[in-house]
Homo-oligomer: A and B are copies of this chain.
Amino acid sequence: MNEAVDLSSLREHLDTDGHDGYLIDDDASDSDQRYVSGFTAPDPYQTLVTREGIHLLVSGLEYGRASKEASADSVTRRSTYDYQQLVAEHGSYEAKSRMLAAFLDDHDVDSLAVPRNFPTGTADGLRDQGVSVTVESEGIIEEIRATKTDWEIDQIRASQRANEAALATAEELIATAEIEDGVLVRDGEPLTSERVKEEIEVTLLRHGCSLDDTIVACGADGADPHDRGSGPLAADELIVIDIFPRDKETGYFADMTRTFARGDPGEEARRRYDVTREAYEAALEAVEAGVTGADVHDVACDIIEEAGYETLRSDPSAGTGFIHSTGHGVGLDIHEQPSVSPAGGELEAGHVISIEPGIYDPDVGGVRIEDLVVVTEDGYENLTDYRVGLEPKGE
């Protein structure tokens, strides 16, 4: 389990703005709530942060597990507030507000801060019950989550180990395919993006990870950073493989990208690969506590622009070249704070970020190389252990 999380900046905010508590009302999909409560459940539950502690309100079904697993000072079940009777008397909408108002009252909370995504139904219902509800618009918990504990870094590292196994499976499928009429072929069938993705997913599953999505994009598909790829993989073309699995137990993500080509993708593609690799290495070298995400992004842009390619820095409307940011935080969400982009603030020790420059053009294809690293006081620790090279290797 995670060490106790440090919510002091949230409590300072409550003090400054004169609120008695901060309430989250969501389910398993809310990473902020999972982080603060040390608990996750498929159905909605509530997490209240006060000056003194962390208090959970859960259904009877979840009470036993929450009492054991949650990192909370108290766990209360809904029946304490006669929830079913409130539903019978007032309907489920008003019953929830009445139950929550009683729960807040038990913790002396009259004035509440809530996250931006707090349900309006709950906010307006509480207001009807006389509770003051104000949106905390800065995303303080997202900011707290950006700095990982050692335990969190271990979980992300474990997800990246699974990721490496999955990428190795994909690389070998590509490396050992036959080539017939310019198309990769295995077992007499064209080797498709879909087939490679399926083997990636099965490998991740065998390592305790799941993923909703993965990218195996060949040729022009790979030139659109958000195209997941489809159809037969071609020889002499760039193939971008970007995998972002999540550990099913801990919820922590990993992220990695490599670009391969079977045969000869041509001189221009090879040049783009070398420039991307240079940008990736220089950006990694720029990472350390105290520099900003914007600084690191600039280092990658410098190299790509000097090589004669466009970036969003040189042309904000560029459709080819380096058309995304250099990286992002990774943790309980695949995209979280901090940002390694023009908007990126100061990096701190314990931030976990991706470094992933790329160069794109439908006529040539896409190149992207991505590692996942932890920022340290004097540099970074690379959580990724995977060879960089354009030519795929297999047994």
Query: Chain A residues in contact with chain B, CB under 8 A?
Result: 29, 42, 61, 91, 93, 114-125, 133, 135, 137, 198, 201-202, 205-206, 210, 212-213, 226, 248
> How far, in whole Å, are A93 and B137 apart by their CA atoms in the complex?
6
Kindly list chain B residues whose C-beta atoms are within 8 Å of the C-beta of A248: 212
Kindly list chain B residues whose C-beta atoms are within 8 Å of the C-beta of A210: 210, 212
Distance in Å: Cβ of A268 to nearest Cβ of chain B: 26
Q: Nearest chain-B residue to A60 (Cβ)?
A: B317
> How far, in whole Å, are A121 and B133 apart by their CA atoms in the complex?
11
Copies of this polypeptide in the complex: 2
> How far, in whole Å, are A162 and B208 apart by their CA atoms in the complex?
21
Distance in Å: Cβ of A226 to nearest Cβ of chain B: 6
Distance in Å: Cβ of A68 to nearest Cβ of chain B: 13
Say yes or no: A120 contacts B137, CB within 8 Å.
no
> How far, in whole Å, are A133 and B122 apart by their CA atoms in the complex?
14
Q: Nearest chain-B residue to A248 (Cβ)?
A: B212
Say yes or no: A116 contacts B135, CB within 8 Å.
no
> How far, in whole Å, are A203 and B137 apart by their CA atoms in the complex?
44
Q: Nearest chain-B residue to A334 (Cβ)?
A: B42
Kindly list chain B residues whose C-beta atoms are within 8 Å of the C-beta of A198: 205-206
> How far, in whole Å, are A210 and B211 apart by their CA atoms in the complex?
9
> How far, in whole Å, are A235 and B47 apart by their CA atoms in the complex?
42
The one of B117, B202, B206, B213 that contacts A119, using a Cβ cutoff of 8 Å? B117
Distance in Å: Cβ of A250 to nearest Cβ of chain B: 14
Say yes or no: A137 contacts B116, CB within 8 Å.
no
Distance in Å: Cβ of A36 to nearest Cβ of chain B: 18
Say yes or no: B116 contacts A118, CB within 8 Å.
no
> How far, in whole Å, are A103 and B317 apart by their CA atoms in the complex?
23
> How far, in whole Å, are A248 and B201 apart by their CA atoms in the complex?
12
Chain A to chain B: the 10 pairs with minimum beta-carbon distance, closest first: A116-B121, A93-B137, A120-B123, A118-B120, A117-B119, A121-B135, A120-B120, A29-B29, A201-B205, A124-B135
